[in-house]
Amino acid sequence: MSFISLSFVAFFVCVLLLYYAVNSKYQKSVLLLASCFFIGYYHISFLLTALVISFMTFYFGKLIASTQQDKKIRWLYFSSVSLLIIVWLILRYPEGMESIVNRVFPLIDLPWRVSQHSVLFPLGISFYTFQAISYLTEIYWGEEEPENNVFNFLLYMLFFMKFLSGPIERPSGLLHQLKEKKEFNYDMVTFGLKLMFIGLMKKVVLADNMAPYLDGMYGSLHDASGMQLVMTCLLYPIQLYADFSGYTDIALGGAAMFGFNLTPNFDRPFISKTTAELWRRWHMSLSFWVRDYVYIPLTSETRGWGRWGISFSLLVTFISLGIWHGAGWNYAMYGLIQGVIITYEMQTANFHAKLADKLGKSLYNGLSIVRTYLLFALSLIFFRAESFHDAIYFLTHMSFSINHSWKELNIGMSDHNCVVAGITLVLMLVYEHYNSKQNIIELVSKKNTAVRWIIYYILAFALFTMGGFNTDTFVYLQF
């Protein structure tokens, strides 16, 4: 039941109406049952997996908090986190885990065989596993008290608006909101609806108009010209951003309609002047998660190494981030590239400060934004390519050569699609620029009725006439 489907629209409307129709003490029950139905709709095994992990995390949290001995607390924490990671690895990479076990224990006959049975990767498991780890870590650090209400905790883990691809919620965020009474708030409901609409515009008008052609390029690398590969490299970050930030807007908007504020995931990443800044603006709930739970603990352990300890921690963090996306060498390389670039930026900060003085702030900032985007686009080749070999082929065959004509610049997109995608991209960037200064949704809501509804009708017309309703999936569902 993807967000981009009539079944989800019907489901969402029914849940929303029931949520505000029942007594407030039953509202969380409605959301929990709806979340279980939403997850189980994909496959019953997905729901069972999510429930098992949620119950495990809930009781591990209480056990860690109730233990008095420091050594036992440490053992319980590392054991519980390790168990979560092992479960995730087994389900995320079943073939690889089977191969490892077979090599380590060659004489043991495993009770399951990946080659004989289809193993389904539970949707959302990466995100709610990270959420479970953050919950246990906050309790271990003494920054959070364990949740006593199991139903609150289950809803914190399973809430359907953020289940599939995040955002990754900390206990200090969503879990605390679940303890507040929710009443119908017209302004918040309409704000959420408008935010969902903006997400749909990003997804179906921009991302989905570009996706088939970019997928086609990656599916036929050996037939593409050097110029087509260059254009594919340059356009893919835009498609990925529109797809994922569109999903995030829908998730945040839908949650707002139920009275909850989820964590923002993007903050105009394409204005970043460095790769480090880009990662503070791109997939922020994941970026800050790895910063707080991987990078900072690593730097504390390697602080005696000086700047080398920081560099080492950065590389380990970003390689881990790459491997989280997939098991291939291309994903590890994607993470390594990010880590190397950020390490280089840190080591050359003084040089860049002097360069900025010579060139002038405006020129230097503009060049830095272009450089950051190009480096990110090049690294995403490893993220998107089917294999490490394909990524290397892509990189080594990019050029300004063409096979037939300069029309290859459009990578097969029709003139109509090019115009629609181009206009939508400009409007998206303009909206995000001004929205960073003043909330555009609130600004429009203050206009008179005629102006508001003219804007709404124009956007609705654009959505349904120019939207590429050719897919109901999001890129990050695979993770």
Residue indicated by tokens 């929710």: 182
CA separation (Å) from 25 to 56, 183, 240, 298? 26, 11, 40, 44
How far apart CA 295 and CA 202 sit, in angstroms, is: 32
List the domain range (segments joined by +) for residue 267. Answer: 188-466
- With a pLDDT cut of 70, the percent of the chain lying above it is 92
Contact indicator for 359, 367 with CB cutoff of 8 Å: yes
For residue 113, the model assigns a pLDDT of: 43
Of the candidates 138, 161, 183, which is a domain's last residue? 183
Record the tokens describing residue 422, joined without a space: 């181009």
* Same domain (yes/no): 163, 198: no
Pick the residue with more confidence: 469 or 373? 373
pTM above 0.95, yes or no: no
Model confidence pLDDT, tens digit, residues 134-150? 999 999 999 989 999 99
The DSSP code for 164 is T
Q: Give yes or no: residues 165 and 286 share one domain.
A: no
Whether the predicted pLDDT of 260 surpasses 50: yes
Considering the domain architecture, whether residues 249 and 106 belong to the same structural domain is answered as no
- Which 8-state DSSP code applies to residue 328? S
Picking from 477, 471, 439, 448, the residue whose alpha carbon sits closest to that of residue 194 is 439
Q: Residue 409: what pLDDT?
A: 84
For the chain, the domain total comes to: 2
Residue 147 inside a domain? The answer is: yes
Mean pLDDT, rounded, for 96-112: 51
Residues 46 and 66 in one domain: yes
- The residue written with tokens 């079944």 in the block is 7
In a domain, residue 351? The reply is yes
Query: Is 272 within the bounds of a domain?
Result: yes
Query: pLDDT digit string (tens) for 153-187?
Result: 999 999 999 998 889 999 988 998 998 888 999 99
- Angle among Cα 299, 304, 310 to the nearest 5 degrees reads 35
User: How many angstroms separate the CA atoms of 325 and 330, rounded?
Assistant: 10
Q: Is residue 174 domain-resident? A: yes
Q: What type of residue is 210?
A: M
Please write down the HEC assignment for all residues of 210-277.
HHHHHHHHHHCHHHCCHHHHHHHHHHHHHHHHHHHHHHHHHHHHHHHHCCCCCCCCCCCHHHCCCHHH
Rounded Cα distance, 350 and 344, in Å: 11
Q: What share of the chain is helix, strand, coil (3-state, %, to 5)?
A: 75, 0, 25
Instruction: Please state the rounded mean pLDDT for residues 283-306.
Output: 90
Residue 460 has pLDDT above 70, yes or no: yes
| 134 lies in the same domain as 244 | no
CA atoms of 253 and 247, how far apart (whole Å): 10
Residue 129 · residue 88 · CB < 8 Å: yes
The answer to the question of residue 473 being in a domain is: no
Distance, CA of 314 to CA of 463 (rounded, Å): 41
Q: In terms of domains, do 389 and 461 share one?
A: yes
Q: Is residue 472 part of a domain?
A: no
In a domain, 56, yes or no: yes
Question: Coil, strand or helix: which one is 169?
Answer: coil
Do residue 169 and residue 269 come from a single domain?
Answer: no
User: Which of 130, 161, 183 is the C-terminal boundary of a domain?
Assistant: 183
Of the residues 183, 215, 244, the one at which a domain ends: 183
Q: Are residues 306 and 343 in the same domain?
A: yes
* 169 shares its domain with 212: no
* Domain co-membership, 303 together with 367: yes
Answer yes or no: are the C-beta atoms of 201 and 296 closer than 8 Å. Answer: no
What average pLDDT does the segment 305-317 reach?
89
Q: Is residue 1 part of a domain?
A: no
151 & 266 share domain: no
Shared domain for 123 and 144, answered yes or no, is: yes
Residue count (the chain): 479
> CA-CA distance, 308 to 287, in Å (whole number)?
21
**pLDDT score for 114:** 42
